[in-house]
Amino acid sequence: MELNSLQRNPIKMRYYIALIILSLPLFGCKKSNGDAPEVKELIIRAADISALPEIEQAGTIFYDHSGTAKDVLTILHENGCNTIRIRLWHTPETEHSGLQEVIQLAERVKEKGMKVWLDFHYSDTWADPGTQDKPAAWESLTTAELADSVYSYTQKVMALIEPEYVQIGNEINAGFLWNNGHINNQADFITLLKSGIEAVRDHHPETKIIIHYAGYNAASWFFGVLQNQNVDYDIIGLSYYPAWHGKSFDELTTALNQLVAGIKKDIVIAETAYPFTLEWNDWTNNSVGLASHLMSGYPATELGQKVFLLDLKEVIAKCPKGIGFAYWAPEWVAFKGAEATNGSPWENMTLFDFDNKALSGMEVFNP
């Protein structure tokens, strides 16, 4: 392609420049410009592989970059992933994401020499900003009774798993354990949140506590409430998906810096992912499947995914209190087959291609 053509198309120019520089070391050294922030090594380089037991149960085989069949934990570990995030549901309809399955997965993680990041949903199913249903077993409890249950349940699980990191709730923008713990019922929300935190502090004081908020809009207000209520935790966790949370790294950088300047806590991107294609590998509707979902300059290609992740990693590393990230569901391939209508809505967002071979974006876990 002629230079003039590339100059007229900055996105294509960025793409071709990336082909040249991706093999160069980007992290772990200080920039030559003395005024630029130091790009430090991140403490947490995590992946959330909560669906792995179900996927393995279906007989799914994964392959590393060379095409050698290996289990997902081995592939992640060999690529520099040092922490595994696992969601926990209270009483799910199946065994998946239930306590026994989570215990078994956590044991496998520890055997690999990796750290466990336990994600309490305090629900029987998915908990997120729009859904925070309390477990059915707790449905009729008063707030005081619910606080006692949160404490005893949290303490019990912590004793069985002993994670290095723990989330008290998942994406709790509007509170959790609705309706008692809705953010609109601020006093009850704080009571329930502190109950879970106290269970961790009382019995496992070495575990780092993460409070998880989706996106960054109003995050300063949310964490300001926690600060004003003297909520005791260690790490701010944010979800960041361009399709839903803003398509500008400049905006994200500003938000992160403002947040840690006001709250003065370490910060981690607790969930992120980016598509390597807009195609599909089963008949389940994909969560991210439109060109409008993409960030400008980052096409839905293997290289586009990799560059997005490396650039996001650099944003986090430059943040004064940025300590890491977690890639969400890198293993959630179309494991139920091409004809499945209830398969994976995420197969184009994984870190494995449609043949279950590791993509180059996996390199984001390298120190």
pLDDT in tens, 69-100: 999 999 999 999 999 999 999 999 999 999 99
Report which of 246, 260, 361, 245 is spatially closest to residue 313, judged by C-alpha positions.
361
Between CA 182 and CA 173 the distance in angstroms is 9
Question: What are the catalytic residues?
Answer: 171, 271
For residue 186 the two structure tokens come to 């601020």
Beta bridge mates, 85: 48, 117
Instruction: Name the H helices within the chain.
Output: 3-8, 10-21, 52-57, 72-78, 99-111, 143-161, 186-203, 219-228, 242-245, 249-263, 302-318
pLDDT tens per residue across span 140-187: 999 999 999 999 999 999 999 999 999 999 999 999 999 999 999 999
Which residue ranges form the domains of the chain, and what is each CATH number?
39-365 (3.20.20.80)
pLDDT tens per residue across span 34-81: 455 567 899 999 999 999 999 999 999 999 999 999 999 999 999 999
pLDDT tens per residue across span 265-317: 999 999 999 999 999 999 999 999 999 999 999 999 999 999 999 999 999 99
Return the H-helix or E-strand segment holding 271. Answer: strand 266-272
What value, to the nearest 5°, has the Cα angle with vertex 286 and ends 282 and 287?
A: 160
Report which of 42, 313, 43, 270 is spatially closest to residue 167, judged by C-alpha positions.
270
What integer pLDDT is reported at residue 38 of this predicted model?
Answer: 62
Mean of the per-residue pLDDT values of the chain: 92
What integer pLDDT is reported at residue 40 of this predicted model?
Answer: 82
What integer pLDDT is reported at residue 9 of this predicted model?
Answer: 47
Contacts of 154 (CB under 8 A, 6+ apart): 120, 168, 195, 196, 199, 200
